[in-house]
Amino acid sequence: MSANAVAVASSDVGLDEPAPDYQEIDKLIELGINAGDLKKMKEFGFHTLEGIMMATKKQLLAVRGISEAKVEKIRESCGKLIRSGFSTGIEVRQKRAAVFKISTGSEALNGILNGGIQSRSITEAYGEFRCGKTQLSHTLCVTAQIPNETNAQGKVVFIDTENTFRPERISQIAHRFELEPDDVLQNIMVARAYTSDHQLDLLNQVPGLMASDRFALLIVDSSTALFRVDYIGRGELAERQQRLSKFMSNLMKVAEQFNVAIWVTNQMTATPDGAAMFVTDPKKPIGGNIMAHASTTRLYLRKGRAEQRICKIVDSPELPEMEATFEINEKGVTDPKD
């Protein structure tokens, strides 16, 4: 192994893990909350004090055996242990110092993203088939485990809704970075989702994983495919958007609780009205304003010549609209050869 090779994230090796940004709900025992009630909340998907404060009263009451009085006591106790009100801009800046970047595998793409995809935010990539969404997902599975000046290094959760995850592809990309493929694969937790309800259920299990180990990245490929299948026609559009909104909201809560990067892919559809003939590109991403508002950074991927692809930043709170060209080959996502 060369001097450039690095160790893969693993709980079995001496990894210098950063202090967690969350507090586990077991701390509530010190304030008189029953351990049995906390066990029920964990089984329901609440593992951190921050997660409890992010939940609505209705969501907390859905936990079996948790009464309204208990909810009030639990929320009051959380308020004593964590700060949930206003902070100064200086304090927010200090908190954002813990944000890290995960390399995309392409220096050109990293350049327009100011280093890579950010933690504590949702990065959405949308485009037609074969434009690089899944290939970027596989490359990120590997690079998330490689430490650098901004990457805290950690494991990966991959929610697969279209049967796109390929261990063989991970192995190819791992060899590029001189990593042991089995070590890389061991650090990727993959779940195949078959319905939109199943997709939401799987996301509810993620806090339990992240509360017990160091994770850096959560991938959903694709975030909208199952909602598109399960809710058909304009009559079900409102319900679909509500469920999709809930899913995206829960993703952001995970990102903020555990300081992880969220990478979601999205499909496109043709505009089904007469206005399509008057626009340059009649295709648009699925999910409408729900996806547009829920995503922190939106990337539009399109095909270039041969194996080259073009990425454009469509929306970001801090990045300008820019484009970069990258290439897809046996090594994953790389810079173009010429």
DSSP characters over 166-211: -HHHHHHHHHHTT--HHHHHHTEEEEE--SHHHHHHHHHHHHHHHT
Q: Minimal CA–CA distance to 225: which of 305, 292, 163, 318? A: 163
pTM of the predicted structure, to 2 decimals: 0.89
Pairing of strands 261-266, 188-192: unpaired
Across the chain, the runs of DSSP E, i.e. the strands, are 101-102, 117-118, 121-127, 155-160, 188-192, 215-221, 261-266, 268-270, 283-285, 297-303, 308-315, 323-329, 332-334
In the chain, where are the structural domains located? Answer: 25-81, 98-272+279-334
Q: What would the two tokens of residue 99 be? A: 């944000």
Backbone φ and ψ for 18, nearest 5 degrees, come out as: -70, 155
How big is the chain by its Cα radius of gyration, in Å?
A: 21
Q: What would the two tokens of residue 24 be? A: 């586990």
Q: What would the two tokens of residue 139 be? A: 């490359």
Task: Please tell me the distance from the alpha carbon of residue 255 to that of residue 79, in angstroms, as a whole number.
Answer: 21
First to last CA, the chain: 28
The architecture of the domain spanning 25-81 is Orthogonal Bundle (1.10)
Pairing of strands 297-303, 308-315: antiparallel
Could you tell me the fold of the domain covering 98-272+279-334? Rossmann fold (3.40.50)
Across 193-282, the runs of DSSP E, i.e. the strands, are 215-221, 261-266, 268-270
CATH topology of 25-81 equal to that of 98-272+279-334? no
Tracing tokens 């959380």 back to the chain, one arrives at 78
> In degrees to the nearest 10, what's the CA dihedral of 316, 319, 320, 323?
-90
Q: What is residue 338's predicted lDDT score, i.e. its pLDDT?
A: 58
Sheet containing 121-127: order of strands = 188-192, 155-160, 215-221, 261-266, 121-127, 297-303, 308-315, 323-329, 332-334
Length of the chain: 338
The answer to whether residues 126 and 288 touch, using CB atoms and an 8 Å cutoff, is no
For residue 225, give the H/E element and its range: helix 225-230
Q: What would the two tokens of residue 130 be? A: 């074969």
Q: Please list the pLDDT of the chain residue by residue as tens digits (338 residues).
A: 333 444 555 544 334 455 667 899 999 999 999 999 999 999 999 999 999 999 999 999 999 999 999 999 999 999 999 887 899 999 999 989 999 999 999 999 999 999 999 999 999 999 999 899 999 999 999 999 998 776 668 999 999 999 999 999 999 999 999 999 999 999 999 999 999 999 999 999 999 999 989 999 999 999 999 999 999 988 999 999 999 999 999 999 999 999 999 999 999 887 665 455 555 566 799 999 999 999 999 999 999 998 999 999 999 999 999 999 999 999 999 999 85
Tracing tokens 């009263």 back to the chain, one arrives at 57
Task: Please tell me the distance from the alpha carbon of residue 151 to that of residue 216, in angstroms, as a whole number.
Answer: 8
- CA distances to 5, 141, 261, 263, 328 from 159, in Å: 28, 12, 14, 10, 22
